[in-house]
Amino acid sequence: MPPREDRKGQPLASSPASVSHDALQDPALLRRLLRARDRMDAASHEAWPVKRLAEVSGVSEAHFARSFKRAFGLPPHRYLLTRRIEQATTLLRDTELSITDIAFATGWESLGTFGRIFRDITGRSPGAMRREAQSNMPELDRVPACVLKAAQRPDLNIAVLEKRRRVAKDKFRPLTKEVS
């Protein structure tokens, strides 16, 4: 693939491939980012604002946010949402905990917020997800947990609010009609 160029035909300083490559050039930075990501994984139920993550990794907030997205493909907040939804899906499938208990155990402060975001990301309510998982349980017993987790990992390449806007745009007709 030829290098990308600007309007004047000059090569662009950073194509998407070189940006992610640049983020991985500094092994010390990558170790710091991995340290922050590991902390999020270990305690995904806790609040992880960018400020706290930047302190864990020893870099500024802006540098952390940019570098994290370059290295892992998602902003820190979306990465954390992915982990929380994965954990909630596992608990819905494998335990008899109430949906409220699962919401609070996975770090949500409100049952309503948990339900809305869970539905926005997975396309199903937590209750529907549980019913579906339990009806498929005999088939899933043979599948390793790591494969299930990867298959059920939510796709958060776009923000949840943007996803919600796109769905709403398809469902509702405009309230006003243009008159010529």
Cα separation, 66 vs 76, whole angstroms: 9
3 state DSSP class of 178: coil
- The share of the chain scoring above pLDDT 90, in percent, equals 51
Using the predicted structure, report yes or no on whether residue 122 has a pLDDT greater than 80: yes
> What are the residues whose beta carbons fall under 8 Å from the beta carbon of 119, sequence distance 6 or more?
125, 126
| Residue 29: inside a domain | yes
Decide if pLDDT at 5 tops 80. no
Q: In terms of domains, do 56 and 26 share one?
A: yes
- Between the alpha carbon of residue 154 and those of residues 7, 65, 78, 88, 90, the distances in Å are 37, 21, 10, 11, 12
Mean pLDDT of 140-156: 66
pLDDT greater than 80 at residue 37? yes
Hey, how many other C-beta atoms are within 10 angstroms of the C-beta on 93? Answer: 18
Give a yes or no: residue 33 inside a domain.
Answer: yes
Give me the domain span that covers residue 69. Answer: 16-73
In angstroms, the Cα distances linking 173 to 54, 121, 168, 169 are: 43, 23, 9, 8
CATH number at residue 142: 1.10.10.60
65 and 89 share a domain? no
One domain for residues 89 and 52: no
Q: Is a pLDDT exceeding 80 seen at residue 123? A: yes
Partners of residue 11 on adjacent β-strands: 5
**Crossing angle (nearest 10°) for helices 16-23 and 61-72:** 110
92, pLDDT greater than 60: yes
Lowest-confidence range among 6-10, 58-62, 63-67, 165-169?
6-10
Distance, in Å, from the CA atom of 107 to the CA atom of 98, rounded to the nearest integer, reads: 15
Amino acid residing at 103? A
